[in-house]
Amino acid sequence: MSMVMLLIDADNVSADVIEQAVQRTLADQGAIHVRRAYCNAETALKQQALFKRLSVRPMVNLAAGKNCTDIALAVDAMDLVVTERPDLVVLVSSDSDFAPLVIRLREKGCRVCGIGQQGKTGEDTVAVYDSFIDLQHQAAGRPAAAKRPARGRRAKAQEAAPPAPVLPDDVLRILDAVPELLRGDRVELNHAAERLRGAKLLGKSASSPKLFKKFPELFSLTPQKTPNKVQYVGPAVT
């Protein structure tokens, strides 16, 4: 499975575009292994329910000054692409300032897809990416990339409040034994195995990667060839 990294400039795009970007990336790629939103403290508080629902980790920037959030995203992106070696990086922003970052990420060997808010992204910015998706702010209408027939009020209410995901009992026991995974941390496999054996979920000679590979849509192992870390990438658990 290809490793996918989603980095969101949450100060630059609206909440509904962030949600559309997550759902579109999941539909196109099948999984998102790293989900981070970069923003100031005010945005983090305003969007905390959204971030929790989408399993997006907020990266709060407390520094003052122009472009501080953009710089924090760029620095983190370069660190992640070196340590985690993703196959695809998806940048959610309409900001043209990320053009040098896109070029540098591509030089590191990964594809870079951009997702922006329609009406805010210039043609020069779009041309830098390997591919680019313009999403329409839903206050102005449904996204052009996903045309759907009109729905009644009842259907819209059901769509706005999807049922909570039901996780397998084995996954819930794993998350209970290794609580660091619930925080979105990338946990050393040796540490996870020790916790799992203590909870009687893993035999003395059993392989912890084999256990996590039973649920590829919920756990990400890195690096792919000889994994030594695991991260929970499934839906938020409340």
Mean pLDDT (whole number) for 5-12: 95
pLDDT of residue 218: 87
pLDDT of residue 77: 96
When mean pLDDT is compared across 74-88, 149-163, 190-204, the lowest value belongs to: 149-163
pLDDT of residue 118: 83
Please give the share of the chain, as a percent, with pLDDT higher than 90.
48
Global pTM exceeds 0.75: no
pLDDT of residue 139: 53
Report the alpha-carbon distance of residue 47 to residue 40 in Å, rounded.
11
First to last CA, the chain: 27
Sheet strand arrangement including 219-222: 187-188, 229-232, 219-222
Task: Encode pLDDT of 138-174 as tens digits.
Answer: 654 444 443 333 344 444 444 454 555 578 888 888 9
Report the alpha-carbon distance of residue 15 to residue 227 in Å, rounded.
34
Both structure tokens of 165: 């995901």
pLDDT at 8 over 70: yes
Counting other chains too, the contacts that 119-123 makes at CB distance below 8 Å and 24 or more residues apart are 120/12, 120/13, 120/94, 121/94, 122/96
For residues 136 and 118, the answer to whether their CB atoms sit within 8 Å is yes
pLDDT at 68 over 80: yes
Task: Encode pLDDT of 90-145 as tens digits.
Answer: 999 988 889 999 999 999 999 999 999 888 877 878 889 999 999 987 654 444 44
CATH architecture group of domain 4-142: 3-Layer(aba) Sandwich (3.40)
pLDDT of residue 165: 57
Cα-to-chain-centroid distance, residue 42: 21
pLDDT of residue 64: 66
pLDDT of residue 163: 53
**Which residues have a Cβ under 8 Å from the Cβ of 88 and sit 6 or more positions away?**
2, 3, 4, 5, 29, 110, 111, 112, 113
Task: Encode pLDDT of 21-44 as tens digits.
Answer: 999 999 999 999 999 999 999 999
Domain residue ranges of the chain, discontinuous segments joined by +: 4-142, 169-232
